[in-house]
Amino acid sequence: MKVCIVGAGAIGGFIGTRLAAAGRAEVSAIARGATLAALRSHGWRLQIGGALITAPVNASDDAHALGPQDVVFIAVKGPALPALAPTLTPLFSATTMIVPAMNGVPWWFSGASPLLGGAPLESVDPGGRIGAAVPLAQVIGCVVHASTATSEPGLTTHRVGQGLIVGEAMGGESERTRKLAELLGQAGFEVTCSARIRYDIWYKLWGNMTANPVSALTGATMDRILDDELVRKFCTDAMREAAAIGDKIGCGMNQTPDDRHVITRKLGAFKTSMLQDAEAGRTIELDSIVGAAREIGQRVGVPCPTIDALFGLTRLFGRVHGLYPVGAPHA
């Protein structure tokens, strides 16, 4: 089986190295700059449990050089995908499984959700450029429950978690999803096949939609955010609004925000991905994590003043620090 990882950062490097080391697939990568140079020099590298896992990789910055794949994992940062997506079409055949392993609400969420009318979400797919390049019928949704980081280009460090949830973007079960789950399971991942992947995406968003931006704004680890009663209440209010949006789109929550806070506390003093990006001076993924929830709320008629405030504050923080574009058309 031929597998390509688009974006060999923290998540892409984690998935790519594990798959390549398992030996059940030929695993290539689309990368650029220092990451591409590192992959060509050292191959896949993953630090996990005190050990360094390595494996060979065919890495390129040109999709034509790699050709059609059986599986394509897209693991780039959300802001990069609109420009990148049209260049990826040489990787796709009529049977390629396209698996976005990205933060927040993916570009395909609206097209696969009858209650949202199918129009592109401008927050994550401005002008519908991604949807035009990536066939919705070939998309398999993916939710990553793992914490990883890149300590240097081409070197991924695993912290905690091995969980992956996969499922058809349009819902239901399929043989191809089971085959993908089997491939990932053989590589050591804890894989769940879901017939309701949009719910799984919304459930994860429900938890990290507040954690990520609040941590970036304050510089606080998650335990300190939850320890502050006023900040915790602010997060709870935003989560209630997101739950109301979920009710409208068939992704109703069966927990309260306090239930979710208890689960999050068990993770301890961790830094969210957005805080890590802010500290490293990287563009923050605000649109897929907060902007999309806000846009969906507007589309289904759910007022979300707390989410609006969270988006506005974090957007301003990002612009002041050069972490969020000033002229974003959807913002």
| Residues forming the active site | 204
- Sheet with 2-6, side-by-side order of all strands: 58-60, 26-30, 2-6, 71-74, 97-100
Distance, in Å, from the CA atom of 3 to the CA atom of 307, rounded to the nearest integer, reads 38
Neighbours of 88 (CB within 10 A): 22
Scanning the chain, the segments in alpha helix (DSSP H) are 10-22, 33-42, 63-66, 81-84, 129-133, 175-186, 197-218, 222-227, 229-248, 257-265, 273-280, 286, 292-300, 305-320
Q: Rg for the chain (alpha carbons), in Å?
A: 19
**Is residue 121 classed as helix, strand or coil in its secondary structure?**
coil
Spatial contact of 253 and 246, defined as CB atoms under 8 Å apart: yes
Task: Please state the φ and ψ torsions of residue 29, each to the nearest 5 degrees.
Answer: -150, 145
Scanning 142-196, the segments in alpha helix (DSSP H) are 175-186
SS (H, E, C) 215-282: HHHHCCCHHHHHHCHHHHHHHHHHHHHHHHHHHHCCCCCCCCHHHHHHHHHCCCCCCCHHHHHHHHCC
Task: Give the strand pairing for 190-193 and 140-152.
Answer: unpaired
